[in-house]
Amino acid sequence: MTKRLCIIGSSGFSREVMDVGAAVGYDIFCFADSGSDVDELVGFPVHDDEPETIAALAADGWHFAIGIGGPRLRKKVAEKMADCHFPALIHPGATFGVSQRERIGDIPGIFIAAGVRMTNNIDLGPHCLLNLNVTVGHDTILEPYSAAMPGVNISGNVHVGEGAYLGTGSSVIHGGNDAKLLIGAFATIGAGAVVVRDVEPGVTAVGMPAKPLVRA
Catalytic residue (one of 63, 85, 91, 138):
138
Q: What is the pLDDT of residues 129-178, one digit of tens each?
A: 999 999 999 999 999 999 999 999 999 999 999 999 999 999 999 998 88
The DSSP 8-state label assigned to residue 24 in this structure reads T
CA dihedral 44→16→191→86, nearest 10 degrees, is: 90
pLDDT tier at 38 (50, 70, 90 boundaries)? confident
Which pLDDT belongs to residue 52? 96
Q: What is the pLDDT of residues 56-111, one digit of tens each?
A: 999 999 999 999 999 999 999 999 999 999 999 999 999 999 999 999 989 999 99
Q: Please state, in angstroms and rounded to a whole number, the distance separating the CA atoms of residues 13 and 16.
A: 5
φ and ψ at residue 179, rounded to 5 degrees: -145, 105
CB 196 within 8 A of CB 176: no
Active site annotation includes 159: no
